[in-house]
């Protein structure tokens, strides 16, 4: 009785697989003559694929499709080959690995840490979404303000150091032995100041730009505080 049941199940399974191949051939636009031949050849091929190694199964599929070369275009040939490999070979490997334990496979294990979200606070202790978003935006603006202040301070120190360095060089070149006339002295001071401005011009431009950005950040902070007060009213 069990043997008869096994034979019936095997026949039903083969019939189902043949139907899948037939339907797949139609869906992929194969000519009718090729569909009929593939359906007939699949009756012989599918039983031979069960229980064989992957390399043998691939060889059988290639041999099987070679009998349809005169009916299939290269595209259809490749399409059917991919279908057979992805459908039957893939499932057959799974069947052997998990049911028959006949496939020697290397298993790799890795430990993954699962981070669950934090437990939410009770509604009475929570924060309104709008308030939270405002607090977050203010915190980001405060951080940006701190960065800009540090940048401005750094630029000022850089300009100061550069001016002092240039002054020492120019003063060392002056000769104070001779008496200087007033006009000559004024001209010298004027050129001295102009040279200082040219020396730190690029740094001053960066400082001005950073100051403008700092003002924009503070205006944004003021606007956020204003939104909070207006909503409270």
pLDDT, residue 20, reads: 43
pLDDT on residue 98: 58
Q: What is the mean pLDDT of residues 154-182?
A: 70
Does 137 lie in the same domain as 92?
A: no
What torsion, rounded to 10 degrees, do the Cα atoms 153, 155, 158, 159 define? Answer: -110
Give the per-residue pLDDT at 108: 73
Higher pLDDT, 76 or 207: 207
Least confident stretch, 14-28, 56-70, 218-232: 14-28
Element (H, E) at 153: helix 129-173
Same domain, 147 and 226: yes
What is the model's pLDDT at position 19?
Answer: 45
Residue 12 lies in a domain: yes
- My answer on whether 147 and 223 are in the same domain is yes
The model's pLDDT over 78-99, given as tens digits with 9 standing for 90+, comes to 777 777 777 666 666 666 665 5
Give the C-alpha separation, 218 to 144, whole Å.
10
Neighbours of 90 (CB within 10 A): 12
**Whether residues 143 and 73 fall in one domain:** no
Q: Which residue, 100, 117, 142, sits at the end of a domain?
A: 100
In this structure, the answer to whether residues 17 and 90 fall within a common structural domain is: yes
From the list 45, 52, 43, 64, the residue with the least C-alpha distance to 92 is: 52
Of 120 and 174, which is predicted with more confidence? Answer: 120
- Does some domain include residue 111? no
Question: 82 and 163: one domain?
Answer: no
Average confidence (pLDDT) over 123-143:
82
Confidence of residue 233 (pLDDT cuts 50, 70, 90): very low
Across the range 58-62, mean pLDDT stands at 82
Is the pLDDT score of 166 beyond 50? yes
Identify the domain boundary among 100, 116, 143. Answer: 100
**194 and 137 in one domain?**
yes
Residues 168 and 214 in one domain: yes
Please provide the average confidence, as pLDDT, over all residues in the chain. Answer: 70
CB 210 within 8 A of CB 203: no
Which is more confident, 110 or 71? 110
**Residue 204 contacts residue 156 (beta carbons within 8 Å):** no
Highest mean pLDDT among 16-25, 31-40, 172-181: 31-40
The answer to whether residue 197 is domain-embedded is yes
19 in Cβ contact with 28 (< 8 Å): no
The pLDDT value given to residue 5: 47
Together in a domain, 134 and 81: no
Contact 60, 52 (CB under 8 A): yes
Q: Contact at 8 Å (CB) between 70 and 49?
A: no
C-alpha–C-alpha distance, residues 220 and 28, integer Å: 61
Same domain, 86 and 142: no
Return contacts of 12-16, CB within 8 angstroms, 24+ apart. Answer: 14/43, 14/46, 14/47
Same domain membership, residue 188 and residue 136: yes
214 against 93, higher pLDDT = 214
Complete DSSP assignment for 174-211: ---SSPPPHHHHHHHHHHHHHHHHHHTHHHHHHHHHHH
Q: Does any domain span residue 28?
A: yes
Between 201 and 114, name the one with better pLDDT.
Answer: 114
In a domain, 141, yes or no: yes
Provide DSSP, 44-89.
HHHHHHTT--HHHHHHHHHHHHHTTTTTS-HHHHHHHHHHHIIIII
Would you state the pLDDT for residue 26? 45
Task: Look at residue 109 and tell me if it is in a domain.
Answer: no
- Cα–Cα distance between 136 and 141 in angstroms, integer? 9
Domain count, the chain: 2
Q: 30 and 90, same structural domain?
A: yes
Average pLDDT over residues 94-118: 69
Choice between 192 and 210, residue whose per-residue pLDDT is larger: 210
Calpha distance 57→77 (Å, rounded): 17
Q: Which of 80, 100, 120 is a domain's end point?
A: 100
Is residue 120, in this structure, part of any structural domain at all?
no
d(CA 67, CA 41): 9
Alpha carbons 157 and 163: distance in angstroms, whole number: 10
Q: Is residue 78 part of a domain?
A: yes
Helix (H) or strand (E) holding 80: helix 74-84
Range of the domain at 153: 129-232
């Amino acid at each position: 009785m069990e043997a008869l049941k096994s034979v019936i199940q095997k026949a039903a399974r083969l019939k189902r697989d043949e139907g899948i191949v037939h339907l797949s051939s139609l869906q992929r636009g194969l000519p009718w003559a090729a569909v009929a031949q593939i359906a007939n050849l699949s009756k012989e091929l599918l039983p031979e694929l069960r229980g064989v190694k992957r390399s043998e199964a691939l060889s059988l599929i290639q041999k099987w499709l070679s009998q349809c070369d005169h009916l299939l275009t290269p595209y259809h040939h490749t399409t059917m080959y991919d279908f057979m490999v992805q459908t039957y070979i893939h499932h057959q490997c799974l069947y052997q690995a998990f049911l028959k334990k006949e496939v020697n496979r290397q298993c790799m294990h890795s430990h993954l840490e699962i981070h669950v979200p934090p437990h939410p606070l009770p509604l009475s202790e929570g924060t309104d979404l709008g308030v939270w978003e405002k607090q977050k935006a203010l915190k980001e603006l405060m951080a940006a303000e701190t960065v800009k202040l540090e940048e401005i301070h750094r630029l000022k120190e850089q300009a100061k150091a550069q001016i002092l360095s240039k002054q020492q060089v120019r003063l060392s070149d002056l000769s104070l032995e001779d008496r200087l006339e007033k006009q000559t002295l004024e001209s010298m001071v004027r050129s001295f100041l102009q040279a200082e401005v040219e020396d730190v011009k690029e740094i001053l431009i960066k400082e001005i730009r950073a100051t403008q950005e700092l003002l924009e950040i503070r205006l944004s902070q003021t606007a956020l505080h204003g939104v909070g007060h207006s909503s409270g009213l």
